Structure 1
């Protein structure tokens, strides 16, 4: 059933299902936000009541979902032009653009207020900054203007562990900044690998992702550079003393795996580029989840043995 079948009122559709609104939240992206924010909460010194910690994590997840809904509303025109996004709720006609924007705005406001009451206004302010950065800086300003869109815009996706840390401590210190840096440096290689697979679609939509405006050689070199930087930053928690040797060994292995994938892509031919880019994209996802999982396991073990 589409929006056109059910009618609208004041620009808001009347027949959208709960599943349609869940799709607006970009649940796959939200899963990464929840995981990294939980890492920030778990690793932070101090104590937040388990119920308040759960509510804080929910608020951060809702803030990420609000960003996704607003992004879909603002990008509805280009989403219609790409097979990767054409089945999203707005281009497929299940939800109107106005509904997505109203829903996203309400959810964004509610998530910030909820986090303020569950934890503190420092965390709430950081969550607000995350939403504004993703929606205004990345979606509105950078995405359609510069191939550095995902480099700068990646800061929004790197902030959740900082928000989680602040929810417990009410402040920001070196440790969450390191977590931010890891995700920030990870994002370009991860997303450009995907963009190689969707190069023609981004070009048709007029989005200047790096693979659309630079040569394959330049794109692959940039991916390799960011993969190396990511691998090095992944060792920083151990080097700086807030993770142990077990974590360092896991981080080194994961980093080598990521860099090896980027090296292979760097030497790809026209025939093997898509296969190797797809493989690196998958490796990059596993890298980040495994790295943060190892960091959390190290933190739990350290607390148990203390």
Structure 2
């Protein structure tokens, strides 16, 4: 039986900064930008330059923030019924005119991307593609209908990596560099591990709103098996990056240790599929991806 972890209380009188942070999911945006930076380092085979990183932030970061706001706008009724999400700004009435969220979010997605379209169409394409996949394919289509929702939705994270590569150069030969492709695959494989462990924590929440997340449709132990399987695949992708010319072997040891730690947590979850162990995997998956991206940038950028 899964014990749901209580959601962290958020004051109804949230500050403007807290409201913006929650509405645009800025923590997730930062992680996606970090993935994009990793793609930029791999595509450049070293430090990509501040110009490319600023361009990536303005386009990819804005698109991710806009997509996050649209996700909450379209799911505000469902969010109100779930313990995990009922403190979000649109549910709590923290935004005086919720109807403004829609045009602002769309502007964040399209205006920066269309601005770079004439001189970097690849960056514009990947930035918009990530938002379309997250909002259109994942949020509106697959999430309420299919257990494959987050699997297909993982392509949005892959688009973040491709955006980073495209920020370095609009040339197809750059953003199809093998290291960037492997990193994009890693993000795709990592996403189910991350979100299924979260869904396992809040299994009753998702069941209450009839959301067909995989942990709702199958038993906790079966869910733990699929989480572990995706973790193994993610680990192989992470370790495969060490074989690329750009990364080198300095990357290998810390990633091997981090992979082993995450797998151990998955084994514990499989043996004892509780909310506490699901939370352990969820938090560790965040740390894992951060470590992978950090070591990638350090080694690819030849910082040491």
CA distance in structure 1 between the partners assigned to 2:267 and 2:239 by the alignment: 19
Counterpart in the other structure of 1:265? 269
Unaligned runs of 5+ in 2: 1-14
Measured after TM superposition, the shift of residue 152 of structure 1 is 0.8
CA distance in structure 1 between the partners assigned to 2:49 and 2:300 by the alignment: 18
Measured after TM superposition, the shift of residue 89 of structure 1 is 1.4
Structure 2 length-normalised TM: 0.87
Counterpart in the other structure of 1:136? 136
Deviation digits for residues 256-294 of structure 1 (CA, Å, limit 9, x no counterpart): 11111111111115xxx1111111111111000001111
Counterpart in the other structure of 2:7? none
CA distance in structure 2 between the partners assigned to 1:74 and 1:256 by the alignment: 38
Counterpart in the other structure of 1:33? 32
Measured after TM superposition, the shift of residue 147 of structure 1 is 1.2
Measured after TM superposition, the shift of residue 177 of structure 1 is 1.3
Q: Conserved in 1, the CA contact under 8 Å of 2:21 and 2:27?
A: no
Q: Conserved in 2, the CA contact under 8 Å of 1:76 and 1:97?
A: no
When Rg is computed on C-alpha atoms for both structures, the one with the higher figure is 1
Measured after TM superposition, the shift of residue 239 of structure 1 is 2.5
Paired residues, what number? 284
Residue 91 of structure 2 aligns to a residue whose secondary structure is: coil
Measured after TM superposition, the shift of residue 158 of structure 1 is 2.5
Residue 89 of structure 2 aligns to a residue whose secondary structure is: coil
CA distance in structure 2 between the partners assigned to 1:235 and 1:49 by the alignment: 26
CA distance in structure 1 between the partners assigned to 2:225 and 2:134 by the alignment: 26
Counterpart in the other structure of 2:278? 277
1:86-97 to 2 correspondence within 5 Å? 86-95=86-95, 96-97=97-98
Distance change in 2, residues 1:234/1:29 (3 Å): same
Counterpart in the other structure of 1:10? none
Flag the structure with more relative contact order, 1 or 2, with Cα contacts below 8 A and sequence separation at least 6: 2
Residue 211, structure 1, aligned to residue 212, structure 2: no
Distance change in 2, residues 1:167/1:222 (3 Å): same
Q: Which moved more, 1:131-140 or 1:239-248?
A: 239-248
CA distance in structure 2 between the partners assigned to 1:18 and 1:267 by the alignment: 41
Q: Which moved more, 1:94-103 or 1:153-162?
A: 94-103
Question: Superposition RMSD on alpha carbons, in Å?
Answer: 2.0
Query: For 1:248, which of 246, 252, 263 is the aligned residue?
Result: 252
Measured after TM superposition, the shift of residue 56 of structure 1 is 2.7
CA distance in structure 1 between the partners assigned to 2:263 and 2:19 by the alignment: 38
1:46-65 to 2 correspondence within 5 Å? 50-65=50-65
Q: Conserved in 2, the CA contact under 8 Å of 1:131 and 1:156?
A: yes
Measured after TM superposition, the shift of residue 149 of structure 1 is 0.7
Counterpart in the other structure of 2:78? 78
Distance change in 2, residues 1:88/1:161 (3 Å): same
CA distance in structure 1 between the partners assigned to 2:268 and 2:48 by the alignment: 45
Q: Conserved in 2, the CA contact under 8 Å of 1:67 and 1:108?
A: yes
CA distance in structure 2 between the partners assigned to 1:87 and 1:180 by the alignment: 32
Residue 37 of structure 1 aligns to a residue whose secondary structure is: helix
CA distance in structure 1 between the partners assigned to 2:128 and 2:55 by the alignment: 16
Residue 84 of structure 2 aligns to a residue whose secondary structure is: coil
Distance change in 2, residues 1:151/1:52 (3 Å): closer
Counterpart in the other structure of 1:4? none
Distance change in 2, residues 1:197/1:19 (3 Å): closer
CA distance in structure 1 between the partners assigned to 2:156 and 2:113 by the alignment: 15
Q: Conserved in 1, the CA contact under 8 Å of 2:42 and 2:180?
A: no
Query: For 2:194, which of 190, 193, 197 is the aligned residue?
Result: 190
Q: Conserved in 2, the CA contact under 8 Å of 1:40 and 1:164?
A: yes
Distance change in 2, residues 1:17/1:274 (3 Å): closer
CA distance in structure 2 between the partners assigned to 1:115 and 1:70 by the alignment: 22
